[in-house]
A and B are shown apart, each in its own frame.
Chain A
Amino acid sequence: MTRYLLGQALSFLVTLWVVLTLVFLGMRALPGDAATILGGMDASAEQIAVIRERLGLAGSLGVQYVGFIGDVARGDLGDSLRERRPVTAVLLDRLPVTLALAALAFVISLAIGVGLGLLAGLKPGGLFDRVTTLFATAALALPEFWFGFLLILLFAVNLGWFPVLGLPPTGLSWQASWHLLLPAVTLAIPRSAQVARLTRAQVLEQRRADYVRTARSKGLAGHAVARHIAANALPGVLPLLALELGGLLTGTIVVEQVFGLPGLGATILGAISARDYPVVQGVTLLAVVVYVGVNWVADLLQLVADPRLRTA
């Protein structure tokens, strides 16, 4: 068990190091000089030089890299070049919004996806099945930004049921969940299609299994058989759900832009444009941690859900 955990920890650290190095190099490979950009149109040459000095952008690439890795190892993510306050504060400010949005979208896509997938799979060829397949194909083709704007136009502008913008000015709160519904639906629909298709496939596979034939021949009622099928189908869907959750937590950029939500996606976009290196690095680090973490939890859940895997 300890060997397993150590192995996981090591692979996580290596992944983190590789990704951070790629981001470090990638950001600095972007054309444009960070100090000039931060100085803006009105800054003189002397002022830009001062900015360069103060923000640690003056040293050679190697020096900056070593300093960066050393800082991260000590847990110091540095200060945002634009906001002049710790990156951790910046992340903590924005993280709750993205978390809430991703969580809501996940729950919705789970409900719709698994629900539809089960119903479709249990009665293959039926009306429900055909509708679900059609929905899945259409939903997968929807571009997020177009779908988001469409929802805003219909539900916020025309019907007035929802506010146009992402959050109330006081920030995240229970009332804010109403504000998050449209963006969450925008995120959830394409993902629920994936989930529905996989769930349906898993259910179909289970229906062909021997135990189903045995159960039916022994006279077990339809809904009871369905329960067994569902219970056996779901573990196969877990890895996809984990990927979806990880993807949601790191993939809200477009929706945050469309709905004006102050989350991590909006932050990293702005930071890349402004060459705010510490913030980009910080958000990436967070994304890696989240993604690896979610997948690890999914692995554990699979062990829980499927006893056959436990004796591996």
Chain B
Amino acid sequence: MEQARLYPRSPQRRPWRSAVLAVAFAALLGSASAQTLTMAMAAQPDTLDPQVTSATAAFQVAKSLYDTLVEVDQSGEIVPALAESYEVGDDSLSYTFHLVEATFHDGTTLDAADVVASLDRIRSPDTASPKASEFAAITSVEAVDDRTVVVHLSQPAPALLATLASGWGAILPSEKVASGHDFGNQPVGTGPFSFVSWQRDNAVTLAANPDYYQGAPQVDEVVIRFVPDSAVQLQGLLTGEFHVIDTVAAADQAQIESNPSLALVRDPSGLALVAALNTRRDHLADARVRQAFNLAVDSQTVLDVAYGGGTPIGTFMEAGSPWMPASIEPFAYDPEAARALLDEAGWDGSVTLDMALPQPYENHIQAGQMIQDYLRDVGVSAEIRIVEWGVWLSDVYGGAHDFDVTVIGHTGKLDPTGRLDGYGTEADNYPGFDDPEVAAWLEAGARETDVETRRELYANVLTRLHEGAPFIYLGTPDRVHARSADLQGFWITPMLDSFDFRTARFE
């Protein structure tokens, strides 16, 4: 009887089978080691040149491409970065930075000339940087040797380190600066990731920089996708297309928290949410009226409902800030006291307030509606007008300041000058708060190098802003983002809100 073949034909007769197996195996090995982290963010950079923009979205992406002399760590402290150490001159008119060894993505080595070129470029009128005024105190930048740079100032500038730690303090390669390189579309820096491509309205692709001075990143590639809709971001997170999303609607938080393969991350933010009151208007000129509005609104409830939670504030500074004086308490929720105060101030009940709310911000619009209700309870009527963002910028925040009440958030700044600049001079702030003493304190504070004296000056300013109440103070919401549970090491820079992938890894 014929034996059936017990064994298949020898491999030489079927070479394709082993070849297929080999390729599949290699692909499996290859794909296991090529890790791509995909993030979805709502806004989109306008440019990747950190010196010509002020948009947060630009710095969120630029964070991975460039480094700064000093940087902000996870606890919000300013720590050394490209400058491994620095000294301040005795007269506080010079800063000496000592540079680490690092290389740019184009292979050139970091040296003092790069720092000089970068700081000169951002101060140059040709660059027209929106952040140039933060470097105004610098008179010159000098390269003492390859690894040492001295920055000379015209007056003491305690806010300088904060500026140098921000995204616009990025250090660019001097050869490319000199040749007029287009950093906006072809960024080159020392950052943990180098630029691969930017598909506008779609995604930015970054590749790990193996020579990064703090150590190579643990993911091979970062793809940042632009997804304006939080619902679509959430869908992508659920299907695994995204590993991190930056926008979580308050209503979706519970769903993410109850899902074991996802993680909801809450960090303190630097945001100060306020309802600005146009103090230029006759009916809002009396500080008692504005204080009454603060007493009439239950800020904790507004924070919880419209912004997913947060901490109330009593003045124009984010909750938990080291500059917030301990003596200032948030206004209590006391409608009785509010009515009494309005009576005392002779509030004219026939006035209808014009509340302008900025269009794409659902949370501000909802907060505005709640404030309208609270005000109605104490006999103040307000009419809501939804305004498109561009118009809001031109006519409410800027221009003719055409509003009685508006709701907006003010991003955190590393130094109080960033937030409070102009808040004593009517023409320089949008609620029109005018107080010559405050203006004088702010001016002194910008130059004061003694920390205690500085703290006192800003405490005075903030106390005035509490009593004068040019805002209905709402509070500081949490900065919430969501990620897949297996992603560790990704964090968002405190105050600056930029994305840090340097220690990101999949467990």
Which of B131, B229, B393 interacts with A36 by CB under 8 Å? B393
Q: List 22 A-B contacts (CB under 8 A).
A: A31-B390, A31-B391, A32-B393, A32-B394, A32-B395, A33-B394, A36-B393, A41-B393, A44-B133, A47-B130, A51-B128, A82-B46, A83-B200, A93-B200, A152-B232, A156-B235, A157-B239, A164-B232, A169-B223, A257-B229, A262-B200, A273-B389
Closest A residue by C-beta to B240: A160
Interchain CA distance A262-B232 in the complex, whole Å: 15
Q: How far is the CB of B132 from chain A (nearest CB, A)?
A: 8
B194-228 at interface with A (beta carbon < 8 Å): 197, 199-203, 205, 223, 225-228
Q: From B199, which residue of chain A is reached at the shortest CB distance?
A: A171
Q: Let me know if A36 and B394 touch, CB within 8 A.
A: yes
A141-158 vs B, Cβ < 8 Å mask (1 yes, 0 no)? 000000000001000110
Residues of A within 8 A of B241 (CB): 163-165
> Which residue of the partner chain, among A44, A54, A262, A275, contacts B199 with CB atoms under 8 Å?
A262
Does A25 sit at the interface, judged by CB under 8 A? no
- Give every chain A residue within 8 A of B394 (Cβ-Cβ): 31-33, 36-37
Q: Tell me if B343 counts as interface (CB < 8 A to partner A).
A: no
Chain A residues lying within 8 Å of B229, measured Cβ to Cβ, are: 257, 260
The residues of B with any CB-CB pair to A shorter than 8 Å are: 38, 46-47, 52, 54-55, 128, 130-131, 133, 184-185, 197, 199-203, 205, 223, 225-229, 232, 235-236, 238-239, 241, 388-391, 393-395, 397-399
Contact count A vs B, C-beta below 8 Å: 111
Give chain A's interface secondary structure class. Answer: loop
* CB of A28 closer than 8 Å to a CB of B: no
B40 to chain A, nearest CB (A): 8
| Residues of A79-128 whose CB lies within 8 A of B | 82-85, 90, 93-94
Minimum CB–CB distance for A95 against chain B, Å: 12
In the complex the two chains form, what is the Cα distance from A239 to B201 in whole Å?
34
Give the chain B neighbours of A54 by CB distance below 8 A: 128
Beyond the given pairs A83-B46, A85-B184, A260-B227, 5 more chain A to chain B contacts, judged by CB atoms under 8 angstroms and listed by A's residue number, are: A32-B395, A42-B131, A157-B238, A166-B202, A169-B223
In the assembled complex, the Cα of A50 lies from the Cα of B223 at a distance in Å of: 34
* Cα separation A152 to B46 with both chains bound (whole Å): 29
- Which residue from chain A places its CB closest to the CB of B221 in the assembled complex? A169
Contact B128 A90 (CB under 8 A): no
Report chain B residues within 8 Å CB of A94: 200-201
Chain B residue at minimal CB-CB distance from A259:
B232
**Given A169-B223, A171-B202, A275-B390, A36-B398 contact (CB < 8 Å):** yes
A40 touches B201 (CB 8 A): no
Minimum Cβ distance to chain A for residue B147 (Å): 33
A167 to B223 CA separation, bound complex (whole angstroms)? 13
